Amino acid sequence: MLEELKERVCAANLELVARGVVIYTWGNVSGISSDRKYMVIKPSGVAYDGMMPEDMVVLDVATGETVEGKWNPSSDTKTHLALYRAFPTIGGITHTHSVHAVAFAQAGRAIPALGTTHADYFYGDIPCTRELTAAEVSEDYELNTGNVIVETLRQLAIDPLAVPGIVVKNHGPFTWGKDAAASVYHAVVMEKVAEMDLKTLLLNPDAGLAQYVLDKHYMRKHGPNAYYGQKQ
């Protein structure tokens, strides 16, 4: 089971490069085992070129301890673990520093739902967290990054699979999904809708999307009577 998960997580990390949302080592993807006992994540600071499944690091979700792997895990490991522990529907998580999504994070602004591309994947605005306090940064920065994401989603009563991403103020985007591959897909979509939003708001600062259009586009793909695509 873990060997297959390492293969999937490695492939998801390499997909970030293929889709142009990471450069150098600016990103990471993780996945959780079906029994939710183990998390597999990219190693810290290791280049994507030549990365193999055996480079992935396996951690115990309950303790956060490494149980398999020759490298140190991603520096964002505690953030990923906090999200898995809080939301049992999340099966994969991606973090990038993609340019347009980071622009919203640095501005401290949500990525607003302005069009149907956004509505196809995110059921509403993609929120921005509050700024971490000095104490939170000094005490346990990565864990508290995860905690502020959880706090924001709970305060806004957001289903994490309906809005599968967030921007952390002054930091950048985190996305998630049913598995590692889905979390990467959402990272790519978030970056594209952030780019669209920036250009749209330059042309029309008052742009917006009617709720009924948002409802229609999201529900036709994800609702109980969804009809987009082919039936299995």
Q: Mind telling me the catalytic residues?
A: 120, 228
Burial label, 98 (beta-carbon count in 10 A; 0-12, 13-18, 19+): buried
Contacts of 127 (CB under 8 A, 6+ apart): 110, 152, 153, 156, 158, 163, 166, 167
- Rounded CA-CA distance 13/31 in Å is 11
Burial label, 134 (beta-carbon count in 10 A; 0-12, 13-18, 19+): exposed
β pairing state of 66-68 and 27-32: unpaired
- Rounded CA-CA distance 75/110 in Å is 25
Contacts of 227 (CB under 8 A, 6+ apart): 220
Hey, how many other C-beta atoms are within 10 angstroms of the C-beta on 169? 19
Burial label, 118 (beta-carbon count in 10 A; 0-12, 13-18, 19+): buried
Beta bridge partners of 208: none
